[in-house]
Structure 1
């Protein structure tokens, strides 16, 4: 079975870093967030919420791409967290990812920040 070039094999690679801070967390997905990789982010976010994390900043600065599946993961997390009285903020979107939020109207339901530092400053402290 030909898996193509190494670049093609890694094209759908997504890494997700989770950094907890009190009752909050910074989630940093990097790579392509699409139907091939969205489950990895969903699992990280679901675990964070299950652990009582209700102040979440998603640092989008490492996202190279986001499709509707990835967007749905983010939207579902926002609904769950806000239902529990928490907040989800998005930070540092690249223009091509921000465009997906603009086209779909999803940008209107999230609190968006230009940088991670701005998002962290906007959240209430523990």
Structure 2
């Protein structure tokens, strides 16, 4: 796993690892994802240009504001344009609530765990609409 810290107070971290085969990456997020820390996530997403499947592990993410949501939505669109996909795993309250309230939960494939997301094949699960 390759950790990258953001923010002077260490409130957020993202770690990247390959998983489940070539072109499959898990980004494990922890802490608070907001306007001050979102550059670390953006950097990690751009650091994996060849990935066909990115799973964002949100199990340790305590907070996500609209800045973080926008980066995830844009990354999802970029992945779709290249024929790949970006899925979310293990959303915790209040992050899950924010995704639900904004309607973003219906845009992403959301899995209960990273293992479930990695086990899902390219056609598994309903493809959310392309409206993000």
| Aligned-pair CA distance for 1:111 | 0.1
Partner of 1:27: 27
Q: Highest Rg: 1 or 2?
A: 1
What is the RMSD computed on CA atoms of the aligned residues?
A: 1.3
Classify 1:13/1:123 alpha carbon distance in 2 versus 1 (closer, same or farther; 3 Å): farther
Cα deviations by residue, 1:6-58 (Å, 9 ceiling, x for unpaired)? xxx73x6211100024111001111100001001100100111x2x0120100
Cα deviations by residue, 1:41-82 (Å, 9 ceiling, x for unpaired)? 00100111x2x0120100000100000000001001000001
| Aligned-pair CA distance for 1:112 | 0.2
Unaligned runs of 5+ in 1: 1-8
TM-score relative to the length of structure 1: 0.85
Equivalent pairs, count: 113
Question: After TM superposition, what 4+ stretches of structure 1 lie above 2 angstroms from structure 2?
Answer: none
TM-score relative to the length of structure 2: 0.81
Output the CA distance in 1 between the equivalents of 2:110 and 2:41.
19
Unaligned runs of 5+ in 2: 1-7, 123-132
